Structures are given as structure tokens and as C-alpha cells.
Amino acid sequence: MNNLNHVAFIMDGNGRWGVKKKRSRNYGHVKGIDTVRKIVKNSIELKIPIITFYVFSSENWKRPKKEINFLFNLIKNYFLKEIENLIQQGIKINIIGEFNKLSRDIKSTLKKTMFLTKKNKKILVNLAINYGSHNEIINAVKKTKKLNLKNFEKNLYTKSLPNPDILIRTGGHQRLSNFMLWQLAYSELYFLKKLWPDFNSGDFKKIISKYKRSKRNFGSI
């Protein structure tokens, strides 16, 4: 049976879910946070030590400005409201991505959240914000003085973390969308047609059960 240390998620379909429900795309983003809460809770119960959510890509800046502003206000307000719950539940928050390019108020909220949760031990929740794997790889190469595998990986955003065992993408698309291209080399990939707000505990547990029964060769026979 395979060990499970790290699960990554591409949370696709929030906006489409909102439109499908005859509401706004922003309504879909709000409901998507409810799914994040459930998955974090399930991960704690299942004793999964690390999960990573693809929150906002470096390409998402092409979206309408109103939607971008709504998304970042949603993130900021969530952490301002939920910080005590995060601490009580033992959830450690970490941000990966080009953090310094975010607005001052978002950076301040995220820095405060990381500081206040840094001693939490139950689960590490990585949020990929303003993240693009191409830039991550290029920047890691530039920072690596003596280029070899070990030195290169020390300069990735995920330098101290195990690579994901599983990637789950909702929303029907079967692509990685510039997410953790290096880290996902040997991950098991699961693509679902369900939109992110409809993804539930049962779906998550089925994928984990399937993963634990799978044979992982890592290049061997």
C-alpha cells in the first residue's frame, strides 16, 4: 500500500459553476472556499501531512480586473476571519509563488497568517498564489551556482517538501496549466469532470483508495 504524504489540487470550475447556477462567477469562487474547508478537514482526518491548492496562477492576471479584485479580497477576508480557527485546528499556512508582486494589503495579511500559524503541526496547507512553474524553474536555475539536481531543487518554492503523490484536477480539463511541472514528474494524476464546488469527501476518498492500491514503479519494472 502506497504512503500518502502530499496531495495537490487544481481547483478548476468555480466560475463555470456559478454561471451554471444562474449566479455570478464570483458566487462560484465563494462556494469554492467551502470545498477547500471540507478538503482540509478530510485531509486532517486522513492524516495527510501536506496539501497544496493552486489558488491563482501567474496567467490569471489576464482575467477581468473586477474578478481579480474580488478573488484577492475573498482570500484576504477569509484569513482575517478564520485565523483563530486555523490556529485551533493546527493548520500551518504557507504561500508559494511570486509573493512580492502582490499588493501591500494582501502581502501583509498573508505574512501575518504564515507567522501566526508557523508552529502548527497537524497539516501544512500550501497556497500557490501568483504561481507559474515556468518562472519557478527559470528562477531556480538562475539561483543555482553549481547546477545539479540537488542544488537546483533547493531553489524551488517547494525546496523542503516532498513532491506530490497525487494531483487532483476538477473541471473536465486534462492538463497541468503550468502548475508544479517539475514536482509532478512521478505523481499520480486524477482528472474529474466535476466542477470544484461539487467535489466532495466521497470523491476524495475514492481517489485516495485507488492511489493506495496502485503500483508505482518510478521507472523500474
Count Cα atoms within 13 angstroms, Cβ side, for 10.
26
Report the distance separating Cα 170 and Cα 36, nearest Å.
13
Catalytic residue among 12, 14, 130, 165: 12
Residue count of the chain: 221
Active site residue 12: yes
| Among 42, 51, 21, residue whose Cα is nearest residue 200 | 42
Catalytic-labelled residue, pool 42, 60, 135, 155? 60
Closest to 54 measured CA to CA, from 84, 115, 2, 97: 97
Hey, is 110 helix, strand or coil? helix
Q: Quote the DSSP letter at residue 162.
A: P
Asked if 94 is an active-site residue, the reply is: no
Catalytic residue numbers read 12, 60
